[in-house]
Amino acid sequence: MSTIPDTEFSDLATIDWRNESLSYAQLKAHLPRPEMNTQTATETVQAIIDDVRARGMQTLTDLAKRFDHVDLDHTRVPQHELDRALEELDPQVRLALEESIDRARVFAAAQRPQDTEVNYANGAAVTQRWVAVRRVGLYVPGGLAVYPSSVIMNTVPAQAAGVASLALASPPQKEFGGLPHPTILAAAKLLGIDEVHAMGGAQAVAAFAYGVEVENDERGGIEPVDVISGPGNVFVATAKRLVKGVVGIDAEAGPTEIAILADENADPSFVAADMISQAEHDANAAAVLITDSVQLAGSVRGELVKKVAATKHSDRVLQALSGTQSAIILVKDLDQGIEVCNAYAAEHLEIMVADPEATATRITAAGAIFVGPYAPVSLGDYCAGSNHVLPTNGTALHASGLNVNTFLKAIQVINYNKAALGDVAAHVINLANAEDLPAHGDAVAVRNA
């Protein structure tokens, strides 16, 4: 295990805004963000998408060999492998997954919106019905960690929405004979998913978006989906962006991030532990502390020196904390700290101040808010009942975390009889003429002749 010297965390940047009065635009322009070459990713991913569309399963198996170093002739995971994975799952892990599933299902069930109907005069009615999409592709990443929790977070809201067909993709693993990690398979089985594919990256997104036809094979191909959800690396996020419109997507989720708004009352040990917990995801993960206390900032640095040296993935954590995406931001007071938080729009925002509940009500942009010292992000990752698939890289300014509505569409139903149409016929005709679309008015006039 590597040892981190006391001077190492001078690389965790300090941004001092205590004497600055920055506009919203200035805040956004100077916030710490990851440096990412999206142009290169776009070119690479578009080539993969085109190849999947042209060659189908052959491309998927070729890329599994190239990227994952496994030999496959098909992506579909046999049912007996799902059964075996659940049978061999550690009982304590199973209990934890079941608790996470139960809590997530309660919260998801409460989210489903109600249909609405408005009745006007003379039999005029307008209704909005919420209808689940037909089929969903769920993506669960592999790479540096194993994410059975992401199986839960993707699946439960889709099931609560009433989606009839669910397919899950996760990268094949060489050490498991070309199958996804067995804990991923076990979680899928627990949730009742029987269609699981050993495929990862941009090629999995392309396969879900466009489908893959396979002739003369009892395992069949991959039917196109209507929505793709789930986190992933820059190539997965780029692929989702490129197929958006062909299918719906939950979000272009990039590297994970945490922001912590803390004052002198915060425990520096808690703050440091939570920054490290996100930084261990990968070298591009972001950890940002926003505080009006210079003393807390210094204490957190001291805790980071000790804790990073002791954590399992210390090298990875150090890279993340030393990157352009991580920093300690000094603000003059809580009000400025809230302004910074709302401009940053963190995926995960922890609030550790004297009155965290009141402060949380002033936050207008965040994927999820964790209130007080005993609600760490890792709670939300697993067992809070909330969803951990959240908008990143500032997209929480306009986007929401994964929820039941992600898998629903609103259909408006207009039901007017002749009398009801007659009540508004003149208005329709006048507006149609004002827009120089007289045939629109004629379509009403012919019914009221």
User: pLDDT tens, 324-375?
Assistant: 999 999 999 999 999 999 999 999 999 999 999 999 999 999 999 999 999 9
CA gap 217, 186 in Å, rounded: 25
Residues 201 and 316 in one domain: no
Residues 373 and 434 in one domain: no
Residues 199 and 259 in one domain: no
74 belongs to an annotated ligand binding site: no
* Count of domains forming the chain: 3
For residues 153-178, give the mean pLDDT.
97
CA gap 17, 113 in Å, rounded: 42
Residues 370 and 422 in one domain: no
Q: Using the predicted structure, report yes or no on whether residue 204 has a pLDDT greater than 80.
A: yes
Residues 186 and 245 in one domain: yes
Mean pLDDT computed over every residue of the chain = 94
Least confident among 71-80, 144-153, 205-214, 414-423: 144-153
Q: Using the predicted structure, report yes or no on whether residue 4 has a pLDDT greater than 60.
A: no
Domain end (from 200, 233, 249)? 249
Q: Would 349 be classed as within a structural domain?
A: yes
30 belongs to an annotated ligand binding site: no
Q: Are 352 and 263 in contact (CB under 8 A)?
A: yes
Residues 270 and 388 in one domain: yes
- Res 73: pLDDT: 93
435 belongs to an annotated ligand binding site: yes
**In terms of residue numbers, what domain contains 329?**
13-30+254-400
Residues 211 and 261 in one domain: no
Q: Are 292 and 308 in contact (CB under 8 A)?
A: no
Residue 349: CA count within 13 A, CB half-sphere: 33
69 belongs to an annotated ligand binding site: no
Q: What is the CATH number of the domain that holds 362?
A: 3.40.50.1980
Residues 314 and 275 in one domain: yes
pLDDT per residue as tens digits for the range 82-141 = 999 999 999 999 999 999 999 999 999 999 999 999 999 999 999 999 999 999 999 999
pLDDT band, very low/low/confident/very high, at 3 (cuts 50, 70, 90): very low
Residues 279 and 378 in one domain: yes
Q: Which residue has the higher pLDDT, 2 or 166?
A: 166
In the block, residue with structure tokens 């804790």: 307
Active-site annotation, residues = 347-348
Instruction: Identify the DSSP state of 212.
Output: B
Least confident among 7-21, 77-91, 186-200: 7-21
Q: Would 126 be classed as within a structural domain?
A: no
Residues 300 and 357 in one domain: yes
58 belongs to an annotated ligand binding site: no
Q: Give strand pairing partners of 227.
A: 136, 248
Residues 431 and 395 in one domain: no
197 belongs to an annotated ligand binding site: no
Q: Using the predicted structure, report yes or no on whether residue 9 has a pLDDT greater than 90.
A: no
Query: In this structure, what token pair is assigned to residue 94?
Result: 């199973």
Question: Alpha-carbon dihedral of residues 43, 281, 261, 291, nearest 10 degrees?
Answer: -90
Q: Would 99 be classed as within a structural domain?
A: yes
Residues 46 and 137 in one domain: yes
- Res 236: pLDDT: 93
Q: Would 7 be classed as within a structural domain?
A: no
Q: Would 409 be classed as within a structural domain?
A: no
